[in-house]
Structure 1
Amino acid sequence: MGSQHKKLLQINITANWGSHGKIAEGIGKIVLDHGWESYIAYGRWMNPSQSTLYHIGSKWDEARHGIISRLFDNHGLNSKNATRKLIQYIQSIQPDIIHLHNIHGYYLNYPILFEFLSQYNAPVVWTLHDCWTFTGHCAHYMFIGCEKWKQHCEYCPNLKAYPKSLLFDRSYQNFEDKRGDFTSLKNLTLVPVSNWLQEQIEQSFLKEQNIITIHNGIDVQLFKPASNNKEILEKYKINANKHIVLGIASNWYHKGLEDFIKLRNILNNQYEIVLVGLNKKEQKQIPRDIIGIPRTQNIKELVTLYSTADVYFNPTWEDNFPTTNLEAMACGTPIITYRTGGSPEAIGQHTGFVVNQGHIQQAAEIIKRISLEGKEKYANACRNHIETYFNMDTQYMKYFELYNQLLK
């Protein structure tokens, strides 16, 4: 491969933006620290990065891909020119490892990419953050309880879910196309980010592939207990004398907003419910006595909110491995989550509780118990658990070790 520096190229919908983009950024930092070169090719949004960035396609291409996909249910089959240009870029840098993350999101043509990857003889690592890779349409099927993907997708009951299709149902053919392309590489390693997702993959057409689970990690220097919360309390009119129940989502679709509204009716006014990540419509939807905060990229605010809360409640109905659970515990706050996907996998001894989906009464009892005992009882265990098992430096090192193993 020419130069003595090893080169990593990651491909993701975002660069250093949102949870997957931050994971790619963190992996890039690790390889840079070890004398490699790091490149990230991204489709849509970015923040400045330590890696060299390459923007795939354009806003126009993405819009076109989105519209065609919505009409014909052929997500991932447009953006041909953008993908051919990406391939020229890959050939110009000659990476030793190609690491895929989310390749869906209206910016990439997967048949063209996979045809290239099957000829380009470098190892490919693919981190799976959802289920899109092995279904004929959706990225998540949990909410509607569909299991067609285990045999063969057709007559999709989930067409209105992302990536939404308004006219056609191409799920049978999408399933065929993906199975053909995604099983075509000789040197592919799939990395689900939860044990739950690994179990799903093992029941799909990808079950013969090399599969290794690596849980997501977070920046434990960034997410740590913060004491000074006066400013935040004033800014959002949060009553410091009440017990604070916090909920956070970057997108509240299937993440339990209705459950928080029900919880509000159960808990008395000694409890303040604070929700982050609401869009304008959702802010109108919630009752007056819930504090709604729009999505924030301000990490310092988030850290203060996590640290101020008595308990973090994550009533998600569809999830793979939510990092908000980790962030809350890293700030010393115990969590309650539904038994959904990989969400319970974050919880260790004395760091939180798992309840069945929709069991809001039970969640309310636990919230009362925590506020009675005081969160101090849980704070150290929460912090230590994240430092031990979900520190991003340790987790991303596992990717670097995997790369070196694959290059041997």
Structure 2
Amino acid sequence: MKVLQINSVCGYGSTGKIVIDLYKMIKENAHECLIAYGRKSAPKEIEAIRIGNTWDNYVHVAMTRLFDKHGFASTKATKKFLQEIDEINPDIIHLHNIHGYYINIKLLFNWLQKVHKPVIWTLHDCWAFTGHCTYFDNVSCDRWKTACQNCPQKASYPKSWFLDGSKSNFKKKQELFTSIDNLTVVTPSKWLAELVKESFIKRYDVRVIYNGIDLNVFKPRDKDTFRKKYGIENKFIILGVASIWDERKGLKYFLELADLIDSDSIIVLVGLNNKQLKHMPNNVIGIKRTSNADELAEIYSSADVFVNPTLEDNFPTVNLEALACGTPVITFDTGGSPECLDDRTGFIVKKGDTMELLRRINEIRDNKIDSFDCIKRAAMFDKNKNYNEYMKLYLETSQG
């Protein structure tokens, strides 16, 4: 069996790591796998091909910014890629993020219609069934249920400076994404699965396969090294981690907490950029993004509580990583973020309620949650177990 995965990146970011994990699992099961990606580079040991080049990405960005044509550029690059894939002749096509300035979705789906191959599509956000955005919770928009138009998030990713093409994009995507028969949709959360069932791709079979983490890496580590490094041995550590701290990830709520916590507490934020680091209060330790998983596991293990005030999310793996290191989690009631918790491993807080966040932080401080319960909960999200569900799905779909 030969599986082709298509994603915007390979080995970079959350989805890039997922496609690598799936690649290794497929190989370990004595099957073939190829990853096609659109941006940055791929690890040398991975069999991968890039769709287009950096110039193609820039042109696609320009088409998006000027005409709101995201997904409808990269024509030459996509044609060349599809010719290569015809020669490779995969048995299964596994789509991930097909947004990200690198592929022409019209050419891709016309090709999928022609080849009649089984298609699995893992949705990592909501872009597949909107006319523009990847998430809509934060603006309380439900136009995607009928027909997008007058998009309130035109200036958000994938940003358009001038035109609003959401109505046209919605119609084109609806036609394309419902044009193939042998398609199975996978979502990493029950929350997203329920949204799919209200969208124009609701006719397809929808499966929930949770994202997984490496429990050999994310496990309790020495707590003292990190604390001694920053001179916070006796502090109550409130931790936040994000790859990019934008509005959607809830940075403002940590800044509000910084004004409310006592002198015995400290906030640690991982993933800040240089500009953000310059403007952190004295009781916030800012750390740049790290790709070192061992270092991250040490930081998780050192924390007393992990706080995720995300405003829009699918199924954030940072929650799982914290739990696996024995650290309880507090998250806003947003998207699929609460699905990782039970009543013994943390708290779910109403979105935007900073005072409730503080109250729950203090509750954990006064009544410490057993780290064993957190570790036990995280075992549900062992990547070896969860991603094996994809292996079963590959075999199921390949056999018709």
TM-score range, shorter chain: over 0.9
Distance 1:197 1:12 in 2: 19
Alignment-derived partner of residue 81 in structure 1: 76
Q: Which residue of the other structure, out of 321, 328, 332, is the alignment partner of 1:327?
A: 321
1:65-96 Cα offsets, whole Å, 9 max, x none, are 11221111100111011111111121121111
1:78-135 Cα offsets, whole Å, 9 max, x none, are 1011111111121121111100000100011000010001111210000000000000
Which sits farther off after the overlay, 145-154 or 362-371?
362-371
Alignment-derived partner of residue 127 in structure 2: 132
Amino acid at match of 1:210: D
SS of equivalent to 2:39 = strand
Q: Which residue of the other structure, out of 328, 337, 340, is the alignment partner of 1:343?
A: 337
Cα deviation, residue 322, structure 1: 0.5
Alignment-derived partner of residue 197 in structure 1: 192
2:33 is equivalent to residue 33 of structure 1: no
2:382 is equivalent to residue 373 of structure 1: no
Q: Which residue of the other structure, out of 267, 272, 278, is the alignment partner of 1:273?
A: 267
Alignment-derived partner of residue 163 in structure 1: 158
Q: Which residue of the other structure, out of 386, 401, 405, is the alignment partner of 2:392?
A: 401
Cα deviation, residue 49, structure 1: 5.8
Give the conservation status (yes or no) of the 8 Å contact 1:13–1:102: yes
Which sits farther off after the overlay, 260-269 or 282-291?
282-291
Q: Which residue of the other structure, out of 346, 351, 374, is the alignment partner of 1:382?
A: 374
Q: Which residue of the other structure, out of 251, 256, 259, is the alignment partner of 2:253?
A: 259
SS of equivalent to 2:8 = strand
Amino acid at match of 2:333: R
Aligned CA distance change for structure 1 residues 238 and 39 (closer, same or farther; 3 Å): farther
SS of equivalent to 1:266 = coil
Cα deviation, residue 47, structure 1: 4.5
Amino acid at match of 1:118: Q
Give the conservation status (yes or no) of the 8 Å contact 2:224–2:233: no
Cα deviation, residue 206, structure 1: 0.8
Give the conservation status (yes or no) of the 8 Å contact 1:15–1:49: no
Q: Which residue of the other structure, out of 118, 123, 132, is the alignment partner of 1:123?
A: 118
Alignment-derived partner of residue 3 in structure 1: none
Amino acid at match of 2:102: Y
Give the conservation status (yes or no) of the 8 Å contact 1:155–1:169: yes
1:200-234 Cα offsets, whole Å, 9 max, x none, are 1111111111111111111111111111542x335
Matches within 5 A, 1:285-296: 285-296=279-290
Distance 2:186 2:231 in 1: 40
Alignment-derived partner of residue 240 in structure 1: 233
**Root mean square deviation, CA, Å:** 1.2
Distance 1:138 1:362 in 2: 29
State the number of aligned residues. Answer: 398
Cα deviation, residue 281, structure 1: 2.4
Give the conservation status (yes or no) of the 8 Å contact 1:249–1:277: yes
Amino acid at match of 2:381: F
1:215-270 Cα offsets, whole Å, 9 max, x none, are 1111111111111542x3354x2512100000011112211111001111111011
Which sits farther off after the overlay, 310-319 or 82-91?
82-91
**What TM-score do the two structures reach when normalised by structure 1?**
0.95
Alignment-derived partner of residue 347 in structure 2: 353
Structure 1: which 5+ runs fail to align?
A: 1-5
Aligned CA distance change for structure 1 residues 201 and 293 (closer, same or farther; 3 Å): same
Amino acid at match of 1:266: L
2:18 is equivalent to residue 23 of structure 1: yes
SS of equivalent to 2:82 = helix
SS of equivalent to 1:64 = helix
Give the conservation status (yes or no) of the 8 Å contact 1:277–1:296: yes
SS of equivalent to 1:345 = helix
Give the conservation status (yes or no) of the 8 Å contact 2:223–2:302: no
Which sits farther off after the overlay, 365-374 or 217-226?
365-374
1:3-35 Cα offsets, whole Å, 9 max, x none, are xxx111100011122111111111111111111
Amino acid at match of 2:308: N
Amino acid at match of 1:380: F
Distance 1:206 1:238 in 2: 53
Alignment-derived partner of residue 48 in structure 1: 43
Distance 1:280 1:383 in 2: 33
Distance 1:196 1:110 in 2: 25
Cα deviation, residue 372, structure 1: 2.4
Alignment-derived partner of residue 300 in structure 2: 306
Amino acid at match of 1:75: H
Cα deviation, residue 176, structure 1: 0.6
1:316-368 Cα offsets, whole Å, 9 max, x none, are 10111111000000001000000000000011241111010122212212212
